[in-house]
Amino acid sequence: MKVLKIDHLGIAVNSIDQGKTFWTDVLGLKFEGSETVAEQKVTTAFFPVGESEVELLESTAPDGPIAKYLEKKGEGIQHVAFRVENIEAALQELKEKGIRLIDEKPRQGAGGAKIAFLHPKSTSGVLVELCERD
């Protein structure tokens, strides 16, 4: 598999509206707009920085994965996303290497990306997202 770069850092926030002030007003990053991924019960907002992006994640439902994360750990880095060349091939290879996958098959993420998560049990506690974009 080929990992191309860190695509984005996923940061869980209670509110994108309030949370984005630091990234825009203080750090001067550009707010690229937000998008709701209904299946994941999350609204995401992207802030490009160099070759990567900051992704803020706000829950849209109390039983969603981000709501559960916030409840347990509070605001903070929730996942790290690596851009790969071919996500299906990457998942196959990781599976063969015994890495625990949360998603056996890629699903639709924000911005039309194909994404899949690896289980933190196999990654020293880091929720790793793989993503492939055109």
Least Cα distance to 106 among 80, 126, 131, 128 occurs for 131
Gap between the Cα atoms of 28 and 21, Å rounded: 9
Size of the site for Zn ion (CB under 5 A): 4
Q: Does 66 bind Zn ion (CB under 5 A)?
A: no
Q: How far is the CB of 125 from Zn ion (least distance, A)?
A: 17
**Residue 27 near residue 34, CB atoms below 8 Å:** no
Among 15-23, 24-32, 84-92, 124-132, the segment contacting Zn ion (CB under 5 A): 124-132
Least Cα distance to 117 among 89, 85, 80 occurs for 80
Q: Does 81 bind Zn ion (CB under 5 A)?
A: yes
Q: Does 10 bind Zn ion (CB under 5 A)?
A: yes
**Residue 107 near residue 117, CB atoms below 8 Å:** no
Among 10-18, 46-54, 59-67, 86-94, the segment contacting Zn ion (CB under 5 A): 10-18
Q: How far is the CB of 11 from Zn ion (least distance, A)?
A: 9
**Residue 116 near residue 130, CB atoms below 8 Å:** yes
Among 15-23, 27-35, 52-60, 94-102, the segment contacting Zn ion (CB under 5 A): 52-60
Q: How far is the CB of 2 from Zn ion (least distance, A)?
A: 19
